[in-house]
């Protein structure tokens, strides 16, 4: 006979687990600070000290997952120290992988580490809207998605709350407490805070430049206008509060001089940038397809071809039209530099170059390119990948799965009876349902999965390293939870469901075949009565 569990012991274990998770967040916050500036021995030392505490807590409070991650982090940091503080591309990638794992350890009983999304924000989000009733309704909607939100009614309540607990983020109406008063209130709240509190400003009406400038000076990181909508606001809050979203920039270095390439590689690696070096320019296109860099550093003069010639070849492929190309050369003739830049280049750096100049240029160019690419490949309503890009990702993942002998699943989803939603409740409600499902998928799928809006109310999901049984189980659970959402409407609240078709890659299948089979499975699920996931 099984002994009954001791409730007090379970509460104690839960308390200890929270202590460990709290320490894990210290590591993630230290990791985030590392990405904001050039890495140094001092900053890595801070990370190492935080990890030592995590390992001690995890072993003391019997948290095996955290113990395992902490020991692996310890090994990587020891290797970096042995290498005189120099960071290799492999070390950066491994650190990033471990941080991603660590960010997913706020688990419930029975959860699987690799299948669990980022834990919800622990601290409250303070919501300060001039329309108090609207603020309370919005707080209720945000809490449904797992966010802890406090809608505060006046400046005094805000100041009292700040004294009790610093928030995860602040959503501030610029007119909270009076015209323009929210700006002053936020600026006062930020005084003495280091780092600054994540702050998002809101204005019901379009704001002029002085207002936006005041918002920036008060520490505002986002500025929204018009009607606030729960799923869109949640995305902004998650972006402000997430401590483990950082993905290192990736740079492809093409230089026939191995010594020069290794020097450039070492400078960038020590700044936390992942690199790959190519000394034979003829292999460039294959390397681009495999590595998918954010930026290319290109030598001007190489035996096989010149830098401008290679830049033209790269630009012939639509996938790499927006990837920045920086020439790094000893060429000091300004006319030749300008000619090279007119042939597909974005910048020209002259050797020898100061390390800070190189790192800053690479970071700025790569960040802007990544932001631009995100806008080009994502759907404007949901923020998911668009139709063209999700199919490109499916093709890339299918190629990689065949090469590495790993499983791959692909799913197509469609909201049931969506036309009735639009006809009965209007297109704004239809958009809200679409965005809600997009958010549900992002929260409940792994960071390694790719989610796209295929068109209208149809979605596509690429699930690498996932067999069809696991894919079916995950999507079926999401289907059940999604059906529980209530959307306020008249005369009765609205509830929606979706149907899905899931297929697995077989040895001979390509991306087009997988998409066709998933689409057929989806419509078979519809024909069988909807609100179901069909695997074939």
How many CB atoms are located within 10 Å of the residue 84 CB?
7
C-beta of residue 365 within 8 angstroms of C-beta of residue 324: yes
Contacts of residue 285, defined as CB under 8 A and 6 or more positions apart, other chains included, come to 313, 314, 317
Burial (Cβ within 10 Å: 0-12, 13-18, ≥19) of residue 390 = buried
pLDDT of residue 78: 85
Burial (Cβ within 10 Å: 0-12, 13-18, ≥19) of residue 355 = middle
- 450-455 β-sheet, strand order: 450-455, 458-464, 408-415, 498-504, 533-535
Report CA-CA distances (Å) from 456 to 16, 524, 534. Answer: 46, 19, 21
Of residues 532, 495, 536, the one with CA closest to residue 518: 536
**Running DSSP on this structure, what letter comes out for residue 187?**
H
How many CB atoms are located within 10 Å of the residue 322 CB?
15
Residue 328: strand pairing partners: 349
pLDDT tens profile 338-391: 887 887 888 888 888 888 899 989 999 998 888 888 778 888 888 889 999 999
Grouping H, G, I as helix, E, B as strand and the rest as coil, residue 115 is helix
How many CB atoms are located within 10 Å of the residue 17 CB?
19
pLDDT of residue 154: 93
Rounded CA separation 504/17 (Å): 37
Q: Angle between the 41-60 and 64-82 helix axes, to the nearest 10 degrees? A: 150
Structure tokens at 104: 């997913």
Structure tokens at 163: 């004294």
Positions in the chain short of pLDDT 70: 1-18, 32-43, 84-87, 89, 104-122, 144-146, 231-232, 242-246, 507-508
Rounded CA separation 467/152 (Å): 47
pLDDT of residue 242: 60
pLDDT of residue 13: 56
pLDDT of residue 6: 53
Strand segments (E) across 156-284: 169-173, 199-203, 222-225, 250-254, 274-278
Contacts of residue 37, defined as CB under 8 A and 6 or more positions apart, other chains included, come to 43
| CATH level 3 topology of 125-241 | Rossmann fold (3.40.50)
Rounded CA separation 326/345 (Å): 6
Structure tokens at 259: 């010594």
C-beta of residue 114 within 8 angstroms of C-beta of residue 446: yes
Of residues 53, 66, 51, the one with CA closest to residue 101: 66
- Domain 387-535 indexed as CATH 3.30.70.270: yes
Alpha helix (H) residue ranges in 378-503: 387-404, 418-425, 427-444, 468-482
Omega prior to 491 cis, within 30 of 0:
yes
pTM exceeds 0.85: no
Structure tokens at 176: 């909270």
Residues 250-376, CATH architecture: 3-Layer(aba) Sandwich (3.40)
pLDDT of residue 214: 93
């Amino acid at each position: 006979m099984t002994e009954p569990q001791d409730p007090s012991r379970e509460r104690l274990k839960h308390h200890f687990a929270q202590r460990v998770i709290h320490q894990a967040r210290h590591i993630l916050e230290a990791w985030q600070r590392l990405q904001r500036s050039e890495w140094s021995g001092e900053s890595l030392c801070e990370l190492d000290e935080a990890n030592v505490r995590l390992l001690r807590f995890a072993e003391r409070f019997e948290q095996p997952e955290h113990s395992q991650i902490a020991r692996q982090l310890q090994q990587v940091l020891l290797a970096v120290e042995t290498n005189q503080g120099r960071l290799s591309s492999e070390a950066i990638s491994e650190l990033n992988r471990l941080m991603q794992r660590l960010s997913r350890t706020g688990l419930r009983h029975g959860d699987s580490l690799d299948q669990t999304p980022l834990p919800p924000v622990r601290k409250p989000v303070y919501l300060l809207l001039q329309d108090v009733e609207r603020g309370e309704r919005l707080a209720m909607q945000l809490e449904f998605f797992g966010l802890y939100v406090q809608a505060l009614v006046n400046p005094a309540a805000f100041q009292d709350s700040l004294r009790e607990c610093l928030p995860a983020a602040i959503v501030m109406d610029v007119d909270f407490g009076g015209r323009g008063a929210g700006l002053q209130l936020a600026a006062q709240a930020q005084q003495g805070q280091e780092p600054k509190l994540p702050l998002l400003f809101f204005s019901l009406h379009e704001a002029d430049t002085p207002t936006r400038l005041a918002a920036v000076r008060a520490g505002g990181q986002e500025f929204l206008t018009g009607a606030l909508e729960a799923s869109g606001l949640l995305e902004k809050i998650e972006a402000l509060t997430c401590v483990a979203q950082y993905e290192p920039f990736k740079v492809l270095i093409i230089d026939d001089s191995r010594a020069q390439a290794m020097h450039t590689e070492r400078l960038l690696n020590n700044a936390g940038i992942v690199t790959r070096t190519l000394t034979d320019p003829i292999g460039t296109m294959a390397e681009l397809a495999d590595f998918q860099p954010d930026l290319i550093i290109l030598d001007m003069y190489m035996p096989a071809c010149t830098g401008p010639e290679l830049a033209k070849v790269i630009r012939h492929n639509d996938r790499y039209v927006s990837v920045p190309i920086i020439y790094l050369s000893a060429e000091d003739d300004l006319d030749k530099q300008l000619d090279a830049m007119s042939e597909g280049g974005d910048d020209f750096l002259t050797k020898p170059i100061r390390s800070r100049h190189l790192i800053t240029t690479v970071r700025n160019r790569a960040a802007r390119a990544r932001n631009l690419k995100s806008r080009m490949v994502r759907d404007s309503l949901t923020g998911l990948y668009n139709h063209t890009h999700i199919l490109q990702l499916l093709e890339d993942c299918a190629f990689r799965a065949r090469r590495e002998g790993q499983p791959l699943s692909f799913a197509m989803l469609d909201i049931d009876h969506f036309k009735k939603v639009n006809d009965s409740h209007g297109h704004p409600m239809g958009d809200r349902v679409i965005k809600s499902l997009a958010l549900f998928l992002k929260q409940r799928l792994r960071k390694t999965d790719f989610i796209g809006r295929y068109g209208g109310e149809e979605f596509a999901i690429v699930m690498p390293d996932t067999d069809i049984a696991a894919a079916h189980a995950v999507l079926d659970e999401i289907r059940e939870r999604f059906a529980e959402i209530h959307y306020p409407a008249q005369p009765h609240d609205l509830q929606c469901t979706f149907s899905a078709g899931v297929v697995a890659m077989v040895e001979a299948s390509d991306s087009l075949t997988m998409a066709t089979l998933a689409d057929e499975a989806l419509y078979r699920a519809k024909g069988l009565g909807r609100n179901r996931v069909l695997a074939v």
